Amino acid sequence: MSPAPDKKWKALIVDDEELARHVIREYLQSHPEIEVAAECVNGMEAVKAVAEHKPNLIFLDVQMPKLTGFDVLELIGTDVPVIFVTAYDQYAMRAFDVHAVDYLLKPIGRERFDAALQRAKTRLGEKMPSAHELAAAARPPQQFLERLVVKDGTRVTLIPVAKLDYVEAQDDYVALASQGKKHLKQQTITSLEACLDPNCFVRIHRSYIVNLERVVRIEPYGKDSRLAILSDGTRLLVSRTGYARLQSLLDERK
């Protein structure tokens, strides 16, 4: 919801470039209804600042070390209007036009800044698209996830997709099994499946996606199902349709 007329909007500026933060801060000086609650130089700081300050608006850089702007979105959700700041990502800009409040292309011009800010004001209080939808829309065709970002309290874990053993559905969450540990992430297994390379990961059951590199053999289990045995000894149930997919991919690798 919009703040009352006598209250200020709280804005968060997230960018690893000092000049970009300075320009945004300077442009905001002509908008007294907005105060800068905090400036963050990386995604980790941004996640903490959002929890602490509960901003009404976020200026969010896309390209940052460790956590990208998309990673930050994954961790904070998209209840808050976001104006993205980017240097060159054509694919992302195309998606921002459709899904995000707006984007600012560096170097940032004052007129373009004011237009983005006005657009943000009209969108305040609207339901924003999910982080997964936004990230999927911005990803170029045939480009799949290279890592997964998981938040547990104040702790953030980055899991390289190559080290992901399997995924298990748990209602609106997924359990990500990697290197002997499980990490819980709020995302459906279907939406995650669409982000993984189908040549490396296969949906073997309504509840499981497996990394093909981890499958060492398949054993019969009951009348219409089988078990996939992974290199660490994990046994995952394989449905009839899942077996057809799995066998097809394994045959291609022979």
Estimate the crossing angle of helix 90-99 against helix 131-138, to 10 degrees.
140
In-domain check, residue 241: yes
- The residue from 121, 138, 155 where one domain ends is 138
For residues 131 and 170, membership in a common domain is answered with no
Please state the domain count of the chain. 2
For residues 108 and 153, membership in a common domain is answered with no
Q: Range of 181's domain?
A: 147-253
Q: What is the mean pLDDT of residues 111-120?
A: 91
For residues 25 and 99, membership in a common domain is answered with yes
For residues 54 and 101, membership in a common domain is answered with yes
pLDDT score of 138 more than 70: no
In-domain check, residue 1: no
- The residue from 138, 155, 178 where one domain ends is 138
- The residue from 103, 138, 173 where one domain ends is 138
Contacts 24+ apart (CB under 8 A), 225-229: 228/204
Q: What is the mean pLDDT of residues 190-217?
A: 94
| Average pLDDT of the chain, as a whole number | 86
Which pLDDT does position 52 carry in this prediction? 92
Q: What is the mean pLDDT of residues 124-142?
A: 61
105: nearest Cα among 61, 136, 65, 144: 61
For residues 121 and 187, membership in a common domain is answered with no
In-domain check, residue 97: yes
Which pLDDT does position 98 carry in this prediction? 47
pLDDT band, very low/low/confident/very high, at 99 (cuts 50, 70, 90): low
pLDDT score of 104 more than 70: yes
For residues 51 and 80, membership in a common domain is answered with yes
pLDDT score of 232 more than 60: yes
Estimate the crossing angle of helix 18-28 against helix 110-123, to 10 degrees.
70
Cross-sheet strand order for the sheet of 235-238: 215-221, 225-230, 235-238
- The CATH number of residue 211's host domain is 2.40.50.1020
Stated pTM of the model: 0.71
